[in-house]
């Protein structure tokens, strides 16, 4: 394995470790210290500034006027709706549930690709969609009956978030081929911030910043700098050296990391509200989703 490939795998490992711990870290200060919409407001303001600074310094690329409607739609789906739904969802439900549901993203992408890009769905992929979807549906419906911090509404918001993000990936695909990803994401975050303003402005004004402690600022800093900025840069770097299928396969790590983090919080840090977040039904749903995504991502064998 050459050094660039090794670095790409380390970047993917780093990005998915960040995503895996983000579920419980982001949930930890909501809603006691900050509301979900206000949290998204801060995340989008800071991340937009960081991406535009990077774009101004390194990627001075102009966008064609005809591509702005697609960029605006990407901002709505990939930044505003995606993040508002995720943060409101994780505020209401278990980090374990959210991490499992988010692994359905490749399934959702394939379904939207079939309708919008006319991508072919083979019998194997159809089986993967069916198994993964059944696992996700069972988990969502199980939310209010599972104990712990799970909830049906929270799970529903997370699957809507995954759907928005999946549709965003399909809509953004032509832009990613035409422009540098940093150029695209800078505009996506800017338009996403504009869409999010009506939802987050009143919440950020009413937020009691005097109640913030060091932990609150560390969590916000982690979400902005690591979950948003560095994780995206890690993924961009990895995609330049490995295939998208290799990139997407690392999503399997997120539920495992979330399971570990929840166990640490419940049994080491003695935060009892997480004690019932892991059970046999959730593990079964997780395995169904993983099998479904595996069937989608596995390349068909070539004939000799």
**Bigger pLDDT: 106 vs 90:** 90
Residue 3 has pLDDT above 50, yes or no: yes
Which residue in the block uniquely carries the two structure tokens 């209010």? 144
Q: What is the pLDDT of residues 131-140, one digit of tens each?
A: 988 988 888 8
Condensed to tens digits (0 to 9), the pLDDT of residues 170-228 reads 898 889 889 988 999 999 999 999 999 998 999 999 999 999 999 999 999 999 999 99
Per residue in 31-50, pLDDT (tens digit) is: 899 999 999 999 999 999 99
Secondary structure of 248-284 in HEC code, one letter for each residue: HHHHHHHHHHHHHHHHHHHHHCCCHHHCCCCCHHHHH
Report whether pLDDT(149) > 50.
yes
Q: Nearest-CA neighbor of 8 among 250, 226, 237?
A: 237
245 or 6: which leads in pLDDT: 6
In angstroms, what CA-CA distances link 265 with 26, 43, 158, 207, 270? 13, 24, 22, 26, 6
Residue in this structure with the two tokens 């901002």, named with its chain if needed: 75
Q: How confident is the model at residue 300 (pLDDT cuts 50, 70, 90)?
A: low
pLDDT tops 90 at residue 276: no
Question: How far apart, in whole angstroms, are the C-alpha atoms of residue 62 and residue 68?
Answer: 11
Block residue for tokens 């198994």:
131
Q: Mind giving me the DSSP string for 47-101?
A: HHHHHHHHHHHH---PPPGGGHHHHHHHHIIIIIIHHHHHHHHHHHS-HHHHHHH
Bond preceding residue 17 cis, omega within 30 of 0: no
C-alpha triplet 164, 168, 170: angle, nearest 5°: 125
Averaged pLDDT score across all residues of the chain: 88
Q: What mean pLDDT comes out for the span 161-166?
A: 92
């Amino acid at each position: 394995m050459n050094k660039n490939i090794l670095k790409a795998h380390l970047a993917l490992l780093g990005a998915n470790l960040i995503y895996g711990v983000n579920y419980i870290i982001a949930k930890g200060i909501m809603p006691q210290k900050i509301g979900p919409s206000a949290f998204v407001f801060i995340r989008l303001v800071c991340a937009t500034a960081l991406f535009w600074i990077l774009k101004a310094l390194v990627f001075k690329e102009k966008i064609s006027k005809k591509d702005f409607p697609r960029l605006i739609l990407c901002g709505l789906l990939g930044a505003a709706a995606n993040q508002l739904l995720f943060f409101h969802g994780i505020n209401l439900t278990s980090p374990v549930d959210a991490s499992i549901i988010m692994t359905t993203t490749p399934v959702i992408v394939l379904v939207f690709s079939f309708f919008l890009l006319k991508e072919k769905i083979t019998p194997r992929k159809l089986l993967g969609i069916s198994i993964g979807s059944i696992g996700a549906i069972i988990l969502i419906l199980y939310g209010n009956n599972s104990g712990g911090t799970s909830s049906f509404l929270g799970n529903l918001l997370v699957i809507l978030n995954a759907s928005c993000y999946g549709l965003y990936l399909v809509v953004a695909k032509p832009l990613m081929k035409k422009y540098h990803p940093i150029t695209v994401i800078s505009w996506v975050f800017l338009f996403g911030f504009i869409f999010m303003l009506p939802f987050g402005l009143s919440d950020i004004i009413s937020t009691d910043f005097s109640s913030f402690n060091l932990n609150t600022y560390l969590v916000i800093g982690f979400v902005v700098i690591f979950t948003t900025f560095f994780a995206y840069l890690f993924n961009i770097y990895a995609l330049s050296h490995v295939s998208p299928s290799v990139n997407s396969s690392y999503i399997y790590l997120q539920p495992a990391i979330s399971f570990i983090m929840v166990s640490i919080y419940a049994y080491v840090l003695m935060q009892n509200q997480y004690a019932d977040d892991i059970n046999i039904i959730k593990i079964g749903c997780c395995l169904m989703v993983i099998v479904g995504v595996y069937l989608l991502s596995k390349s068909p064998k070539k004939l000799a």
